[in-house]
Structure 1
Amino acid sequence: MKRTITILLLFISLQLSAQCWQSISAGEYHSLAIKNDGTLWAWGRNVLYQLGDGTDVTKNIPTQIGTANNWVKVHAGYSSSYGIKADGTLWVWGSNAAEKLGTGNANYVIATPTQLGSDTNWLSVSDGWNHTIALKTNGTLWAWGKNEYGQLGDNTTVNKTTPTQIGTATNWQTIATGINHSLAIKSDGTLWFWGSRFNIYGTSTQNNIPIQIGTDTNWLKLAGGQHHCAAIKTDGTLWTWGENSTGQLGDGTTIYRTTPIQVGTATDWLDVSAGTRYTIATKNNLSLWSWGYNYSGQLGLGTSGNTSDVYVPTQVGTSLDSNKISAGGYHALVKNSDGFIRGTGSNVVGQIGDGTFVQKNTFTYISCYPSALSNEDFALNGLKVFPNPVNNKLNFSLEKEITTVSICNLLGQEILSKSLSNNETSIDVSNLSAGTYLVRVTSDNEIKTLKIIKE
């Protein structure tokens, strides 16, 4: 019987996890995410229609965009948004300044996701302030939008209103962008740069075509910040270069670097993301690290303000479950292994998505659900379990008598249990470790199971 219950709880856990998040992207002042069911969600600033719901109304909780359930990738940029569907089509919406959305439509904004052309082989996309670059599955590189600094890489400074192929190479593999520059890695492991070199190399010169950085052939991952860059090699080392006014390069100084420098000596870096003058990264054990500008608490270290910048990589908490990261303008998002998103930093336009407009300096959980699993009551056929997420006391309320309440971990192992004969009760969960749990409530031989988050 115990084995049967465990299997049942695991099944329920998987069913609930299916409603959680698959991928995330933090933009300048808005956020995008895809759930495991392929639906698209957005929140934060919306004055330029970057959320894609056809309005210019700001949202402070995840809001579903349309009804399509075949989204596979999203990119939240500088007031513009991009998404790729499972059929390889590319969709754009939000700010169309300098016609950076590439549709040939000169309108200043596009209010809802609109397909870009008819191609069905788009792989990834990234945008700068007013330019966009993208890769196709055949390894070709494409760009459009503003080009005054050569950031499109087509050897001109002429703006492009629709996707334009850059060169003839078919071995481009990874891309990233800054405000007015672009970066990419080829399948041979070489690293390339083009666009404005202002603040990147300490001069105002520019490159109108991709130029190779160094001669190394083991570059693996890329991140483009406002005026700084970060990359990881196949040997697990982390490298940064560019502006360093707030310690965003992580070398313990504020010295600008014109070429990539290694950050520390660690060889277990897994992923990296660069925001506006700050950087976040994960290691192979899924620990989370951050450094750089921290005025809004975007590093998630429990501090904020003018004197809170951090100049070397610093571990954020002790959790080992940060499997996806995204650094936005002044807020950061992290997706945990259990499918839940946490956010920290500026929240003035609801870009964290926790239902408030209050700045956070530690990572705060975001709901998997349309309107619940926040600080509001969670109702399920009359059952209320609140608050959720919870810190200390978890409350239960039902119109009929509750006979048993138990809390299990995601392996189905019972941690707490309480027998009673009331329609209201509470359980002290202050001693539970932070994480996700299953709550099982029994009433009149009817069993309800739901997820809670312990902060």
Structure 2
Amino acid sequence: VQILDETGKILVDSGVQKQYVDVTNTQGSWVVTTPLVANQKVQVRVKVSDGSLWSEWSEPGWMKYELPEKRASLVVGEKNSTYVKADGTLWMWGDNEFGQAGLGTTGGKSSMAMKIANLENVIGVAVGSNHTLALTQDGRVWSWGYGYYGQLGDKNRTYSTYPTPEKVPNLDSVVAVTAVGDYSMALKKDGTVWRWGGSSSGVEPQKLNFTGISAMAQGNPRNAGIVLKSDGIVLDFQGKQVPGLDGVVAISQGDGFSVALRKDGTVWTWGGNSYGQLGDGTTTNREKPGMVKGLDEVEAISVGEYHVIAMKKDGSVWVWGNNRDGQLGDGTKTNKLSPVQLAGIDAARIATGKSHSMVLKKDGTAWSWGKNESAQLGNGTTVNQLNPMEVQFSSK
């Protein structure tokens, strides 16, 4: 197979790609891993062989290679934070005891955002307790940090620390990643979910018994997670449907409680409620999903250990739940049992860690608040912040 530009210049050549033994079969596949320029017209031509003779090149077929617009994103973990810029570069800060900050060394902390070297075209990130995953545009997953429990997904990287990103072997066509504690998960393009870590015997990714999945969430490795099917229903990890909930477009999970965003812009919560994290004005646990009142036109949700952030379509940010370390960003340490709006925030993205939070404003600046003992706020200090403070980026 060859891919050519409009002038006939060869952009990609597959080389010989063996397909099927049965020479009467006309099906075949080849994954293009070479980056192509988005939104350009290209020609595709093929020639085939029966094992002894080759055909001539076919007449070129025309196609347009399109990619969705690259947008910046935030992902926050327990002791680290990340910012993927629109150019596909990954910036990270926080704890580096086990090399999880991706700086090529172990130990210490990074109190401002540092660019991860030799990692390009990043489209997704996941941060566990002491390890990090990055998803690149070609559908491959990279991992680094603490590998003792198999969370790096590589049998050759266990029982030690690995501060430099390396590809997870035998894992491709991935569209999303997530991590919590010492576990890692990946969602493939075919809707299957793969999980690894948690013990030295759980090194290689194992397929879970799900199909047709569009999103996954797990807030604590001790608790079963939830998955979102492409038809908008939510299942627990035992495959049981969460009752009274449909039309869901996004899910997130904390420690013992879950949050779902429906396509009508309403937010639904269920589970533990000791800190008011269900947003219903009480601290009473609830098994079944209930709608968070007074909150509509929500576009995104993010959940920490016991707190929640929601972003409306107008860019306003609303918070509730545990506020012991100032993770709600309202200038206090008082828990909020119902949603309250943060003043002066016009957000484009939101993210939560265990006890800290972050937003990407529409002007492109990143702001964080909450717990900061591991420098996870990226503001050049290790002091907790009760109000949003701008993230500082290294010039290196």
Which category describes the TM-score, using the shorter chain as reference length? 0.5 to 0.7
Aligned twin of 2:267: 288
Choose the corresponding residue for 2:313, options 322, 337, 360: 337
Give deviations 1:405-431, integer Å, cap 9, x for gaps: xxxxxxxxxxxxxxxxxxxxxxxxxxx
Corresponding residue of 1:323: 299
Residue 368 of structure 1 is matched in structure 2 by: 344
More strand by share: 1
Give 1:312's aligned amino acid: K
State the match for 1:233 in structure 2.
229
Contact 2:317 2:345 (8 Å CA) reproduced: no
TM-superposed CA distance for 1:260, in Å, is: 3.1
2:211 maps to 217
**Secondary structure of the corresponding residue to residue 91 of structure 1:** strand
Structure 1 distance, partners of 2:106, 2:197, is: 24
CA distance in 2, matches of 1:206, 1:298: 35
Matched, 1:184 2:203: no
Q: Which amino acid aligns with 1:344?
A: W
CA contact (8 A) 2:295 2:339 kept: no
The AA in structure 2 aligned to 1:93 is W
Query: Offset at 1:277?
Result: 1.6
Q: Give the Cα separation in 1 of the matches to 2:80 and 2:321.
A: 20
Structure 2 contact 98–107 (Cα < 8 Å) conserved: no
Q: Deviations over 1:251-283 (max 9, x none)?
A: xxxxxxxx3322126431111001122111111
**Match of residue 363 from structure 2:** none
8 Å Cα contact 1:71-1:83 kept in structure 2:
no
Look up the match of 1:137: 137
Please list, as runs of the form range in 1=range in 2, the aligned pairs for 1:91-106 lying within 5 A after superposition: 91-106=91-106
Q: In structure 1, which of residues 297, 301, 306 is the aligned counterpart of residue 280 of structure 2?
A: 301
Q: Distance in 2 between matches of 1:332 and 1:325?
A: 7
Structure 2 SS opposite 1:350: coil
Which structure carries more helix by proportion?
1
1:194 to 193, 196, 199: 196
| 1:276 pairs with 2:255 | yes
Aligned to 2:334: 358
The alpha-carbon distance between structure 1 residues 168 and 233, as it changes in their structure 2 partners (threshold 3 A), is same
Task: Give the SS at the match of 2:239.
Answer: strand
Alpha-carbon offset, residue 71 of structure 1: 7.8
Question: Structure 1 length as normaliser, TM-score?
Answer: 0.57
The one-letter amino acid of 2:106's match is A
Q: Number of paired residues? A: 273
1:120 positional shift: 2.6
Distance 1:266 1:365, change over 3 A: closer
Q: Give distance in 1, aligned partners of 2:268 and 2:229.
A: 17
Cα RMSD (Å): 1.9
Q: Give the TM-score normalised by the residue count of structure 2.
A: 0.66
Stretches (4+) displaced over 4 A? none
Question: Is the alpha carbon distance of 1:332 and 1:206 closer, same or farther for their aligned partners in structure 2, counting shifts above 3 Å?
Answer: farther
- Give 5+ residue unaligned stretches, structure 2: 1-69, 347-396
Maintained 8 Å contact 2:270/2:287: yes
Q: Distance in 1 between matches of 2:321 and 2:294?
A: 19
Sort the Cα spacing of 1:369 and 1:187 in 2 relative to 1 into closer, same or farther, 3 A.
Answer: closer
Contact 1:324/1:336 (CA < 8 Å) preserved in 2? yes
Alignment deviations for residues 82-120 of structure 1 (CA, whole Å, 9 cap, x no partner): 111111110110111311112112232101000001433
Q: Which amino acid aligns with 1:94?
A: G
1:347-370 C-alpha deviation (Å, 9 max, x unpaired) = 122111112221111111012359
Matched residue type, 1:330: Y
8 Å Cα contact 1:287-1:318 kept in structure 2: no
Look up the match of 2:241. Answer: 262
User: 1:182: Cα distance to partner?
Assistant: 1.0
Structure 2 distance, partners of 1:192, 1:368, is 40
Aligned residue number for residue 151 of structure 1: 151
- Give the SS at the match of 1:299: coil
Q: Give the Cα separation in 1 of the matches to 2:294 and 2:324.
A: 28
One-letter code aligned to 2:96: N
Q: How does 1:21-40 map to 2 (within 5 A)?
A: none
- Could you tell me which amino acid in structure 1 is paired with residue 298 of structure 2? S
Which position in structure 2 is the counterpart of 1:437?
none
Match of 2:175 in 1: 173
Tell me the residue number matched to 1:115. Answer: 115
How far does residue 329 in structure 1 lie from its aligned partner after superposition?
A: 1.4
